[in-house]
Amino acid sequence: MSVKNVSGTFLRRALLLDAVASGAMGLLMAVAAGPMGPLLGLEPGLLRAAGLGLIPFALLLGYLASRDTLPSWPVWFVVAVNALWVVDSVLLMTHGPTAPTGLGVAFVTAQALAVALFAALEYAGLRRGATAAMA
């Protein structure tokens, strides 16, 4: 089974931007979950766990962004994780164990939209990298 390699500045920049945003949001949620929870109407434990989960994800993104070329499967994994984050964000607001405040809905929605954008940019980077590899 062959593995496609992808490369490209666009993809690396998309991964790096996602790494910075994920790392910053992860640190914020992990460190400030206590005060943020009541403001957002979200359980501090949920915020902290999500934040702590984002930190290794951000490190993975940074590592991938530093590679000149890489197999396409790790980038597909990133796109899938980002898509899952968006779905989970919607489910949290509609069927979650908490009732987010208006600020909480705005916070979760803004995150979901940003993550959807990262997934779209990374997918576009995959497509560009595959096109360039075929040329």
68 φ, ψ (degrees, to nearest 5)? -70, -40
- Cα angle: 130, vertex 131, 135; to 5 degrees: 115
- Distance set, CA 100 to CA 47, 82, 106, 130 (Å): 12, 21, 9, 41
pLDDT digits (tens, 9 = 90+) for 12-31: 999 999 999 999 999 999 99
pTM over the 0.85 mark: yes
Identify the residue with better confidence: 133 or 120. Answer: 120
Beta strands in the chain (DSSP E): 5-7, 69-71
Token pair 């940003």 is found at 114
Is it the case that residue 134 has pLDDT exceeding 70? no
